[in-house]
Amino acid sequence: MALVIPNSYQISDETNLKNPKNLLKSCIEDHNLFKMINSSKNCNLRGINLSGMDLSGVNLSFTDLTGANLSGVNLSGSDLQSSILHDANFHGAVLDKTNMLNSKITGAIFSQTYMNDVNLSGVDLKNSNFKNSNLILDFSGKDLSNSNLSGANLSGSRFGYTTLRNSDLSWSNLKGVQMYRVDLTNSSLYMSDLSGARLIRVDLTGTDLRLSYMKDIQQENSNINKAKGGYCMADSVFIDLTCKIQRTLLSIFHNMKLD
């Protein structure tokens, strides 16, 4: 007799439902069963509270984690491929070399996370919330329109053919980044640090550059003249005292977050 498995399943044992660790363990065990029969089905962990757990290296692919509490979770090396993460809370989580290929993250919160070398292929990043996060990611070819990246450390990220229209990058650290053909139309870079950055063919139409720090910036074919607000590019003791104060404030702000 053929084994029939539904498109998604939920462990209904009452003991497991009361204990997230048992529920997670059952889900992982069933994942292994599905692999043996070459089937990929969604394990239903909707709304589960896994906050603070060490899930490094865990296989959570094809898992429905809609509305799950994953705050402070260590997901380093974990597999979240094709998982459903709508409205999940990743606040303060660590995602180092995590596989999120083809995951669904609409409404998910990634504030104050550490994300390094995460596979975001096939992930819709529009309307994302990466507020105050430390991101070392490749955003090449990604659409982050209407996203919240305020206060984020993006100095280690890559931007090529990236769309950031109507996004909030205020108070962000973009020191030394290279941007090629990036669309920043109507975005906010208020009080951001762009010192030493290189902007090539970047669209800054309507971009808020008020009090952004841009010392030693290099720009090629970027329409900075279409941006709005004053920004700091020089380093003169008398003329640019405001810029020096601003640089100090930005340095204090980002150092506080690292601590």
Residue 116 lies in a domain: yes
Residue 49 lies in a domain: yes
Residue 192 in tokens: 């951001």
**% residues pLDDT > 90 (the chain):** 66
Residue 60 lies in a domain: yes
C-alpha 70: how far from chain center: 14
Residue 81 lies in a domain: yes
Q: Which residue has the higher pLDDT, 50 or 234?
A: 50
Same domain, 93 and 166: no
Residue 6 lies in a domain: no
Query: Per-residue pLDDT for 101 more than 80?
Result: yes
The enclosing domain of 246 has a CATH number of: 2.160.20.80
Q: Give tens-digit pLDDT for 48-70.
A: 999 999 999 999 999 999 999 99
Q: Which residues pair with 138 in a beta bridge?
A: 158
Which pLDDT score, from 0 to 100, does residue 102 have? 97
Q: What is the mean pLDDT of the chain?
A: 83
Same domain, 62 and 106: yes
Residue 11 lies in a domain: no
Q: Which residue has the higher pLDDT, 21 or 138?
A: 138
Same domain, 117 and 49: yes
pLDDT (average), residues 13-39: 55
Tell if the pTM clears 0.85, that is, is over it. Answer: no
Same domain, 208 and 154: yes
Position 30 confidence tier, pLDDT thresholds 50, 70, 90: low
Question: CA–CA distance from 186 to each of 49, 95, 145, 169, 224 (Å)?
Answer: 37, 30, 10, 11, 12
Same domain, 259 and 185: yes
Q: CA-CA distance, 185 to 216, in Å (whole number)?
A: 22
Q: CA-CA distance, 24 to 55, in Å (whole number)?
A: 10
Which pLDDT score, from 0 to 100, does residue 202 have? 97
Last residue of a domain, one of 124, 152, 181: 124
Residue 216 in tokens: 């030693």
pLDDT (average), residues 29-55: 71
**% residues pLDDT > 70 (the chain):** 74
Q: What letters, b where the CB count within 10 A reaches 16 and e where it falls short, cover 9-40?
A: eebeeeebeeebeebbebbeeebeebeeeeee
Position 244 confidence tier, pLDDT thresholds 50, 70, 90: low
pLDDT (average), residues 192-201: 94
Q: CA-CA distance, 83 to 142, in Å (whole number)?
A: 19
Please tell me the total count of domains within the chain: 2
Which pLDDT score, from 0 to 100, does residue 7 have? 38
Same domain, 176 and 87: no
Which pLDDT score, from 0 to 100, does residue 251 have? 63
Which pLDDT score, from 0 to 100, does residue 211 have? 85
Q: Which domain holds residue 224?
A: 133-259
pLDDT (average), residues 211-234: 84
Same domain, 140 and 256: yes
Q: Concatenate the DSSP letters of all residues of the chain into one string.
A: -PPP--SEE----HHHHH-HHHHHHHHHHHHHHHHHTT---EEE-TT-B-TT-B-TT-B-TTEE-TT-B-TT-B-TT-B-TT-B-TT-B-TT-EEES-B-TT-B-TT-B-TT-EEES-B-TT---TT-B-TT-EEE-B-TT-B-TT-B-TT-B-TT-BEES-B-TT-B-TT-B-TT-EEES-B-TT-B-TT-B-TT-EEES-B-TT-B-TTEE-TT-EEES--GGGSBS-EE----TTTTHHHHHHHHHHHHHHHHHH-
Q: What letters, b where the CB count within 10 A reaches 16 and e where it falls short, cover 137-164?
A: bbbeebbbbebbbbbbbbbebbbeebbb
Last residue of a domain, one of 67, 94, 124: 124
Query: Per-residue pLDDT for 44 more than 80?
Result: yes
Q: CA-CA distance, 105 to 142, in Å (whole number)?
A: 14
Same domain, 56 and 168: no
Same domain, 191 and 250: yes
Same domain, 176 and 242: yes
